[in-house]
Amino acid sequence: MSLGDFNKVKERYRDQKWLIQQYVNYKKGIIEIGRICSCTGETIRYWLNKHKIPIRHSHSGDELKMMSYRNKLWIKKEYIDNQRSTVDIASELGSSPQTINYWLKKFSIPLRDSHSIEQLKRMWEKSSLYETKYHLTKEYLIREYLSGRKTINQISSEYGCSWDVVYKRLIKYGLPIRQTNISARGNGVKRTTTDFKRFQKMILKVYGYKCAICGYNKFVISHHIIGRATSHDDSLKNGIALCPNHHAEADNGTLTVNELKQFQINES
């Protein structure tokens, strides 16, 4: 199977007829469909709404579990008391680490720092790969970046390191860089701190400091609709405010340019 065919299989949820067949006719749950497509439950829920497919009110056990992170006591117990990582919690719930981070922040649950017990525990559990904060093995990057299609932003966020650290590791190991990631960084085109701050402030202000897609109002990011490396465009018409979850989906191509434009605020 070619990479193009593989991506088509993963993104079958974009096909309204296929999604109706799985969710309505076969009565499959949101998380189950997400597992089939190798994506999060939030992505499937988004496409159900986009295709105007009514979401069932009687949730399966998996769907109820998926919403557990919205319960302050539950997520506090798992994250603080049981010392579980956001990646671990997200994996169980069919969600993403960014979503778990959002709800931790929303409930004012303090995030552990980069030298926390949780990270030390993860280092011991994965000692065979020696995956410390700044050490990413070739095997790990092949699995997560190439096969798992994670973005550089997602990997750097999970490991608490900078975008450059992951990028340089990919170059060091001779692994191909996806064009979406190069565009996200700027592809060598210099952008000053002043330019970035101006674009960031303008977009966030226009969108009311909320994600244009889901309305989340924390961890909001100003995103270039068309990568700045290609467009050199820091104007309002090329920007949109996104939460970390939808920003990651825009980075990896799950949300296309045309789809993002549907949520834009028209320039007055």
Question: What pLDDT, in 10s, does the model give residues 15-59?
Answer: 999 989 988 888 888 877 887 887 777 788 888 888 888 877 645
Average pLDDT over residues 231-260: 83
Does the predicted TM-score (pTM) go above 0.75?
A: no
Task: Say how many Å lie between the first and final Cα of the chain, rounded.
Answer: 47
Percent of the chain at pLDDT above 90? 4
The closest of 163, 160, 164, 161 to 112, measured between CA atoms, is: 160
Using the predicted structure, report yes or no on whether residue 243 has a pLDDT greater than 60: yes
3-state helix, strand, coil in the chain (%, to 5): 60, 5, 40
pLDDT tens digits, 137-189? 888 888 888 888 887 777 765 665 666 778 888 888 899 887 654 444 444 44
Using the predicted structure, report yes or no on whether residue 135 has a pLDDT greater than 50: yes
Q: What is the pLDDT of residue 80?
A: 81
CB atoms within 10 A of CB 6: 13
Residue 243 CA to residue 261 CA, distance in Å, equals 16
39 or 204, greater pLDDT: 204
In 3-state terms, what secondary structure has residue 221? strand
Residue 164 CA to residue 152 CA, distance in Å, equals 9
Helices 152-159 and 97-106, interaxial angle, to 10°?
Answer: 50
Residue with tokens 């960031």: 200
Q: What is the DSSP string of 177-192?
A: PPHHHHHHHTTT----
Residue 75 CA to residue 88 CA, distance in Å, equals 12
Q: What is the pLDDT of residue 228?
A: 73
Q: What is the pLDDT of residue 213?
A: 87
Residue 153 CA to residue 90 CA, distance in Å, equals 17
